[in-house]
Amino acid sequence: MRPLPLTSPGGPTAPAGRRTPGAKVKFATRYFLRLLRTHPSYAAGYVIVTVVVLVAIAAPVIAPYSPITADPSVYLQGPSLAHPFGTDNTGMDVLSRVIYAPRIDLAIAVIGTAISAIIGTLLGAWVGYFQGTPGIRNIASGTTMRAADVLQAFPVFVFAIALVAVFGQSIDSVIFAIAFVNIPIYLRLMRSQVLSIRRMRYVEAAFVSGMPDRFIIRDHIVPNAIGPVLAQLSVNIGWSILLTAGLSFVGAGVRAPTPEWGAMIATGFPNVMTGQWWPSVFPGLALAVTVYGFALIGTSIEFMADPRRRRTLAAAQVSA
């Protein structure tokens, strides 16, 4: 028989314990600032995303022209003082459209990712917790995993286009398609986390003390397994922006004249061949920088979720 330990060995994120909430927040903030100081590229990520969000919110104030009004007298003009990013083949101002686009792109990506993360995480926690336990719930979790296998065997892009076709071409359909193709990612991530956490002593202790399964999942499993999911979120938002742009690029996503980066690149595509690069290059650049910003944030969260690295940085903080 195994002796019961008096102290918990601690999960991946052992609770900070006896500190008061105020001190905890203060410590976390100082730690976060220190991380940004030691890793300037992470700071760049946060700056990029903040700027893009602010630009999207303040678009009507910043944009010099209307994003959907064409002025045929100035079509396909190169970058100039009046039109810093030039105009496209219908005479719309590229800069104004680039400024308005994140309203659509970010909204779709963030909502789509959030839906898939919530559903995927809950399903994953459930599947991971009940897998291998005798009874109907084991069969249900096995079935869920096989269903995820099948969904992931599909070519993502064609699958997403087909989903948009099924539900009609609209922004809602794009959000739904993105949420749907992302669910298996969170499902797997959460499941693998939960599988290792449910063997932890504190989970066993909660079980032995008669805590109902749903409370164990809520209070012990999910909080300790959530780290990698959070890191995935940011990367996934970037990836969803790319998918949205790709869908719009082939004509299965957001339609012109709605300002959207992928659709803008598609509009400028024929012009690039003949040498007018600006209608495609600027939206693509904005798109790439935004996705890069989200990727950097994802890396920084991954760093913070890694207890080993965190300890090194925290030790440096205490001694400093």
Partner 1 sequence: MAVVRYIAGRLAFLIPQIIGIVLVSFLLIKAVPGDPATLMLGPMATPQTIAELRAQLGLDKPLPVQFLIYVDKLAHGNLGTSWQTTRPVLDDLRVRFPATLELVTYGMLLALVIGIPLGVASALGKRGPLAKLGGFYGLVAGALPDFWLALILIYIFYSLLGWVASPIGRIDVTVTTPHMITGFYTVDSLLTGNWEAFRSSVHHLILPVLTLGLVNAGPILKMTQATMERTLEADFSLYGRLCGLPEKLVIRRAFRNALPSVITIVSVLYGFLIGGAVLIEIVFSWGGAGQYAVQGVLNSDFNPVLGFVIFSALFSLVVYLIVDLIYLAIDPRIRR
Q: Is 83 helix (H, G, I), strand (E, B) or coil?
A: coil
Q: Which of 102, 113, 107, 109 lies closest to 231, judged by CA?
A: 113
Among residues 60, 215, 269, 316, the one that binds partner 1 under rule CB under 8 A: 269
Query: What amino acid occupies position 92?
Result: M
* Binding to partner 1 in span 10-69, by CB under 8 A: 41
* Binding to partner 1 in span 118-147, by CB under 8 A: 146-147
Closer Cβ to partner 1, 6 or 273, answer by number: 273
Length of the chain: 320
Among residues 295, 305, 313, 314, the one that binds partner 1 under rule CB under 8 A: 295
Residue 294 CB, nearest distance to partner 1 (Å)? 8
Enumerate residues 6+ apart whose C-beta is below 8 A from 182.
112, 113, 116, 117, 120, 236, 240
Stretch that binds partner 1, among 14-22, 161-169, 182-190, 206-214 (CB under 8 A): 161-169
Closer Cβ to partner 1, 102 or 238, answer by number: 238
| Residue with the two structure tokens 């030691």 | 38
156 lines the binding site for partner 1 (CB under 8 A): yes
Dump the DSSP string for 120-147.
HHHHHHHHHHHTTSSSHHHHHHHHHHHH
Residue 147 CB, nearest distance to partner 1 (Å)? 8
Residue 161 CB, nearest distance to partner 1 (Å)? 5
Residue 153 CB, nearest distance to partner 1 (Å)? 5
Query: What amino acid occupies position 207?
Result: F
Q: Which of 308, 156, 300, 316 lies closest to 240, judged by CA?
A: 156
* Binding to partner 1 in span 226-265, by CB under 8 A: 235, 238-239, 242, 245-246, 249-252, 262, 265
CA dist., res. 265 & res. 104, Å (int): 15
Stretch that binds partner 1, among 65-73, 106-114, 193-201, 280-288 (CB under 8 A): 280-288
Among residues 58, 118, 166, 316, the one that binds partner 1 under rule CB under 8 A: 166
DSSP state of 254: S
Among residues 296, 300, 301, 304, the one that binds partner 1 under rule CB under 8 A: 296
157 lines the binding site for partner 1 (CB under 8 A): yes
- CB atoms < 10 A from the CB of 236, how many? 24
Residue 134 CB, nearest distance to partner 1 (Å)? 23
Q: Please give the C-alpha separations between residue 139 and each of 100, 127, 131, in angstroms, as whole numbers.
A: 48, 10, 8
158 lines the binding site for partner 1 (CB under 8 A): yes
- Nearest 5°: the CA angle 241, 112, 167 is 105
Query: What residue ranges bind partner 1 (CB under 8 A)?
Result: 41, 146-147, 149-151, 153-159, 161-163, 165-166, 168, 235, 238-239, 242, 245-246, 249-252, 262, 265, 269, 272-275, 277, 280-281, 284, 287-289, 291-292, 295-296, 299
